[in-house]
Each structure stands twice: as structure tokens, then as C-alpha cells.
Structure 1
Amino acid sequence: MSNSALSGPTVFVFGSVNIDLVCRVAAIPRPGETVLSARYEQLFGGKGANQAVAAARSGGRGKVAFAGAVGDDDLGRAARGALEAERIDTTHLRLGGERTGCAFITIDARGENAITVASGANSDARAAAIDASSWHAETVLVLQMEIPLAESLAAARRAKAAGGRVVVNLAPVPADLRTEDLAALLATSDVLVVNETELAAAARLTQVGQVGQDAPETMAAALAARSAITVIATCGGDGVLVADAAGAAGPVTRLAALTVDVVDTTGAGDTFVGVFASAFAAGDSVLEAARRAVAAASLACQKLGAQTAMPRAAEIDAALARRRP
């Protein structure tokens, strides 16, 4: 797909590409402990790539494009091919100087996970490599924290200058993230998506609420009010909280998750972000997009892996239809 095709509603994901090495164990090992797994699986992953795949499968009426970096290696070529198989535009997926990123994922008997990521070529992702024609008023740019923050900021500013909207998933929270860095990122954002741990980190850095004392609803509302953006907090089986830009003076809405048998939560957060962005780009309101996204994220917990578990539009539509009174 060429750049000229990037017109109309477009989800443009700028982020990471990884190959996931996944093993299942009875319990995630503690420091100094070794546990055995009978086998492992090699899967496609990376928060950016995951979110692009979720968006592409979710049935939005627009296009999905991806920018980032992979290594000049077999893993990188396989990752590019997997994205293209989902009809995702990879024009701006460049070759970096390092090997393709890799994630090592351990999943316990309850479906909880522990993840270590080797960034590799993701550190070579560059906003300047994205053609200016990619940005327009119907673009929804999606960002995460697995590529350099300075590059994410540069892309966000360019998207906003063209009249587009920006969705930031503050995951994972960089260990060296400074208050001024977060403030700059939020100043370019329309929607912030966080889990409860990331919400607490953002509240602490922006000095809103009492971390450890205030309920997530209170912190989400205060953060939305301080930053004049919409804050969405994902709360696992408890669904999501949506705090609009009115913040503490406006309502905080909780949307329930579906009741499912959890096999693996690895890709649930990325599923939420990608499906949300797709619906948001297609013209849904924040609440409508979040309602579709939480249903999709719930469905993703029923299968192993990240991209392998992400539902397609028909599955999401059927789940939403069953929920309606």
C-alpha cells in the first residue's frame, strides 16, 4: 500500500515490533528460582505491532498503517510479512541497525504473565522516517512506550499539527520518565490509556491525588482534569474506567468486562488499545469505542498469545449483541 492510500480514517501506529518467546509454567519464578516448562512457542508481538493487528481485525472502516523498525534478519522479515498479511501498511517500517526485538514471556496457571523485552531494533524507530503525507485530520496516531520517547513526541506533534488525534498507551512506564517528559506527552494527546499501575505512576508524576490512598476513579478524574484529556484506565476483570476531560467535575464511567474463562492475559491491553483506536478513527465516541474495545479485550483473554488471541470483527459484534438487553 502506498502513502497516497493513507487518506480517510486511518489508525497510524508508531511503535515496537517483537518476536515473543512464550512458555507456560505452574508459577512465575521468583528471583534465583528456576522453573521448567515442557515447551515454548514463537509468536509475533511487540506492543505497537499488537495494537496495529488488533485495529486491523476489529472491523473499522478505515486503514491501518504501522511505523517502527525491525532488524535485517529472518525474524524481522517474518514480522513484516505477518503485518502485511493483516493488510497493514508497512511503508514506514524501516530497517534498524540492531537485531529484531524479542520478548520473553512466562505465563502461570492463572493466566498471569511476566515479560522481559530486549528492545533491539525498536530503539532505531524514527519519526522523521514517516512521510509528511501520512498525517491528516482523520489520522488517529497510536503510541506506546517501547520506542524512544523523543521519537514518539516528535510524531505526536506532527500528527496534531495536521489536525489528527493522538492516543497514548503509557505502557510500559519508562523507569527514567520525568515529570516534564510526561507533561510534554500529555500536552500532545487526546486520550491516555493506562492500567492501574500505570495510572498510579502518571498520577504520582503529575502530582494529582494520593497514590495508595485514592481510588482509581479519583486518580483518573484528577489526571483528566489536570491534563485536559480523556483518561481510560483498564482494570482487568473489573473492566475499564473512562474519565473525560471534565475530570473531577465530570462523570467517571465504568464499563464492565465480559465474563470469560481466562487462559492468557498477555495481549488484552494491546487488544483494547487497537480496537479503541479503530472505532475512534471511524467516528465512534470515546464511550462507544471503549465499549467495543473492552469486549474485544475480554475475548482475547480466552486464547494463548497476543496477536494469535485477538478477535476479529464478527466475534466482537457477536459478543456486543449478546450483551444488549
Structure 2
Amino acid sequence: MILVFGSLNIDLVAKVPIIPGSGRTVLAPSYQTHFGGKGANQAVAAARIAGPRQVQMAGRVGRDAFGDGAIANLRSNDVDTALVVRADEPTGCAFITVDEAGENAITVASGANMTANAGDLPAVLFGADTVLVLQMEVPFAQALAAARRTRSASGTVIWNLAPVPEKMTREMVTELLAATDYLIVNEHEALDGAAAIGVNASDYETAAAELAKTGNLTCIVTAGAQGALAVTSDGTRLRAPAPRVTPVDTTGAGDTFAGAFAAMIHERVPLQTALKVGCEAAARKCLTPGAQAGMPMRAQIPSLA
């Protein structure tokens, strides 16, 4: 089973000519509403590759219409929502601007996500076949508790170090690495993670190698058009190219990679194959606006068709 413990949001997306900097205002003709949250995104991406009854989402939403919609959306994507709990806080919301090149800037109001609790996860979920997927949009202590329970049951932990916390301490990163089997980062997150443990890396490959060595894990770096890099704890490096596409919206591409990668790890395929499938899924997602709408089904992945 793939268990995703993380955030559920509603995304409000506006297309703008340029992403505004400090003190600037830009006008957008309209906006769109999409389902999001890194946890929910990764659950949907995984379910579309793994198939029905393979993915369970755990997290919290508000007692509001946004929460109703978030749960219904997950169910429509064959994600089990039995562990999505209603909270008194409002459902999380993300405000996203997308420029003409398809790049984005995101502000997240966490809401109910900050009440997520690992205590909501029953012991029966944890076993050797469990693949737990984590991010950084719910309380760190709760995500860490879920990771440790999974490792204690001989399960596998995939942790996406995103978004990087403003105050990320050495202790936090050290604890995260010790409880993780596969760490997924982008180029900037790799450098930030390495810096937190005292490594002043000049490039993301060096940073990934240090993170892998320190945590005795495999570090995966998603590098956009450059594809993905995996560095194992012994320094072995594997690469997968990114298919060439003209992006419409990159929102959710990293989450698509993480979900597809988790589905492949759950199927126990070779690491090289998992990287390739993740890159193919992320590239296809970029052809459609919104975080989840373009996430591909298994039959749409060239390596799996």
C-alpha cells in the first residue's frame, strides 16, 4: 500500500504576464480553482499510475465546502480517504500565479493542514509493504513520527523536502534523513538541505551526494528540463532524461514525479526505471494547467504503455 500523509489544499490560479515582485501589482483577467496540496497531489499522481485501491491519503481538511470538494476529488481519483479527518480550521488554500513561460509563484495558507496528526494512522497500516510518502506542508513532528513508525515496521519512506521551512535546523534535517529511504529534492532544496547539515556545496550533485551519505539513503534530485539524478549512499549516480515538451503550466510537476516514483518503488522496479517513469509523468503533466488535471494515467507513460 502507498500511504500519503500530508496536505490537502484548494489552489486558486491566476495567469499573469509577469510574476509580481515586492510592492508590485499585476492584473489577471480571471482565475481558476483547482485541487492541490502537495500531499493530495502526490496521492493522485500515485493512484493514476498504481491503480485503484493502492493509495490511501491521510491528512486534514476543514468543515467547509472546500473540504467537501477535496475529499470528493480524491475519491474520484481512486484514492482512499478514510483517514482524511475534518478539523475546525479551514481547508488549506494556495494562491498561485503563472507567467507566460509557465513558471509559477505560490503562497500557501495552511489552515487545517497544521492540525494533521500521525495519531490518526492506525497501526494496521504499517508493514513491510507500506510505502509512506511525506512532504513539508504538515507539522514536521507529526511527519517524523509517521516516518519512524513506518521504518520500525520495515516499510519504505519517501520524503519530499518541499517546501523548505524558513527555519530549517541541523537537528531537523538530521532526524529527517535518519528516518528516510528516498529523499526527493529539487536543485535548490538539495543545496538548502546540505547547508542545514553544515555542507557548503557548490552544486546540487555534490549536495545530493552529501545528503545521501549522511542519511545512508538515496537522494533524488528533480532538475526540470535536465531530468532527474539519483545518488545512493555509496556514491553511485543514476540519471534519467526529461522528455522535451513546451510547458503550459509547471505547477504540480514535482508532485507528479514524486507520486509516480512512489508507485514504481511500491512495485519494486529498478531505481533507473522509477526515475524514468517519474520524469515522463512530470513532463506530461506540464502540458495541462493546474496541479492535478494533467497528471497522466499509467497508459500514457511511454515506459509503462
TM-score > 0.5, shorter chain as reference: yes
Task: Verify: 1:309 aligned to 2:294, yes or no.
Answer: yes
After TM superposition, which residue ranges in structure 1, 4 or more long, deviate above 6 angstroms? none
Q: Tell me the TM-score normalized by structure 1.
A: 0.91
How many aligned positions are there? 305
Q: Secondary structure at the match of 1:58?
A: helix
The structure 2 residue matched to 1:289, chosen from 274, 279, 289, is 274
| Corresponding residue of 2:184 | 193
Query: 2:188 touches 2:204 (CA, 8 Å); kept in 1?
Result: no
The structure 2 residue matched to 1:72, chosen from 54, 60, 63, is 63
Query: 2:298 touches 2:304 (CA, 8 Å); kept in 1?
Result: no
Ranges in structure 1 where 5+ consecutive residues have no aligned partner: 1-9
Deviation, 1:321, is 7.2
The percentage of aligned residue pairs carrying the same residue is 48
Query: 2:52 touches 2:78 (CA, 8 Å); kept in 1?
Result: no
| Corresponding residue of 2:217 | 229
Task: Verify: 1:320 aligned to 2:303, yes or no.
Answer: yes
Q: Relative to structure 1, is the Cα distance of residues 61 and 242 closer, same or farther in structure 2, using a 3 angstrom cutoff?
A: farther
Quote the Cα distance in structure 2 between the aligned partners of 1:132 and 1:17.
Answer: 23
Query: 1:60 touches 1:278 (CA, 8 Å); kept in 2?
Result: no
Task: Verify: 1:88 aligned to 2:79, yes or no.
Answer: yes
Quote the Cα distance in structure 1 between the aligned partners of 2:60 and 2:249.
Answer: 27
| Corresponding residue of 2:99 | 108
Deviation, 1:97, is 1.7
Quote the Cα distance in structure 1 between the aligned partners of 2:86 and 2:158.
Answer: 25
Deviation, 1:87, is 1.2
Quote the Cα distance in structure 2 between the aligned partners of 1:220 and 1:60.
Answer: 31
RMSD of the alignment, in Å? Answer: 1.3
Quote the Cα distance in structure 1 between the aligned partners of 2:303 and 2:101.
Answer: 26
Quote the Cα distance in structure 2 between the aligned partners of 1:146 and 1:236.
Answer: 22
Q: Deviations over 1:4-39 (max 9, x none)?
A: xxxxxx110000000000010110011111111111
Ranges in structure 2 where 5+ consecutive residues have no aligned partner: none
| Corresponding residue of 2:147 | 156
Quote the Cα distance in structure 1 between the aligned partners of 2:51 and 2:234.
Answer: 28
Q: Secondary structure at the match of 2:83?
A: strand
Q: Deviations over 1:141-178 (max 9, x none)?
A: 00000000000011011111111000000000111221
Quote the Cα distance in structure 2 between the aligned partners of 1:152 and 1:286.
Answer: 24
Deviation, 1:61, is 8.3
Query: 1:160 touches 1:166 (CA, 8 Å); kept in 2?
Result: yes
Q: Deviations over 1:41-64 (max 9, x none)?
A: 001000000000000001458710
| Corresponding residue of 1:35 | 26
Q: Secondary structure at the match of 1:320?
A: coil
Q: Deviations over 1:165-222 (max 9, x none)?
A: 00000000111221101111110100000001100101101223x33xx232222112
Q: Tell me the TM-score normalized by structure 2.
A: 0.97
Quote the Cα distance in structure 2 between the aligned partners of 1:60 and 1:245.
Answer: 31
Query: 1:195 touches 1:235 (CA, 8 Å); kept in 2?
Result: yes
Q: Secondary structure at the match of 1:298?
A: helix
One-letter code of the match for 2:141?
A
